[in-house]
Amino acid sequence: SAVISQKPSRDICQRGTSLTIQCQVDSQVTMMFWYRQQPGQSLTLIATANQGSEATYESGFVIDKFPISRPNLTFSTLTVSNMSPEDSSIYLCSGTPLGGHLPDTQYFGPGTRLTVL
């Protein structure tokens, strides 16, 4: 399995500012993903964080708004840029560890609760 931590756990931000969320895994993972969970909604995939190359974004999400970095196999960041109240959500990171009992299983971080005023 993989234990995933996220920083910060929550934040309250002013509109127009940016916030960078960090995701750290305790072991190497092949794939890392970022999801968003808006209030009362399900989890929606934002992008796949690729190690050493640009992230792959899902329809409706763009790099300028959600730049992602993944400098190595255990760490990734998601930035929410030029925030508006509509960006208020829980942002979750997930990873798929190398090998293990259940290959290709996605493990999730605890989430970052973002409120934009």
Partner 1 sequence: AQRVTQPEKLLSVFKGAPVELKCNYSYSGSPELFWYVQYSRQRLQLLLRHISRESIKGFTADLNKGETSFHLKKPFAQEEDSAMYYCALRIGGGADGLTFGKGTHLIIQP
Q: Indicate which single residue of 44, 51, 69, 79 sits in contact with partner 1 (rule: CB under 8 A).
A: 44
Asked whether position 106 contacts partner 1 by CB under 8 A, the answer is yes
Angle CA(33)–CA(10)–CA(53) in degrees, nearest 5?
25
Asked whether position 43 contacts partner 1 by CB under 8 A, the answer is yes
Residues 6 or more apart whose CB falls under 8 angstroms from that of 30 comprise 73, 96, 97, 98
Asked whether position 111 contacts partner 1 by CB under 8 A, the answer is yes
Phi, psi angle pair for 84, to nearest 5°: -130, 165
Asked whether position 61 contacts partner 1 by CB under 8 A, the answer is no
Q: Indicate which single residue of 42, 53, 86, 99 sits in contact with partner 1 (rule: CB under 8 A).
A: 42
Q: Indicate which single residue of 9, 18, 20, 30 sits in contact with partner 1 (rule: CB under 8 A).
A: 30
CB of 51 to partner 1, least distance (A): 12
Rounded-to-integer distance, Cα 76 and Cα 25, Å: 9
Residues binding partner 1 (CB under 8 A)? 30-31, 33, 35, 41-45, 48, 58, 92, 94, 96, 102-111
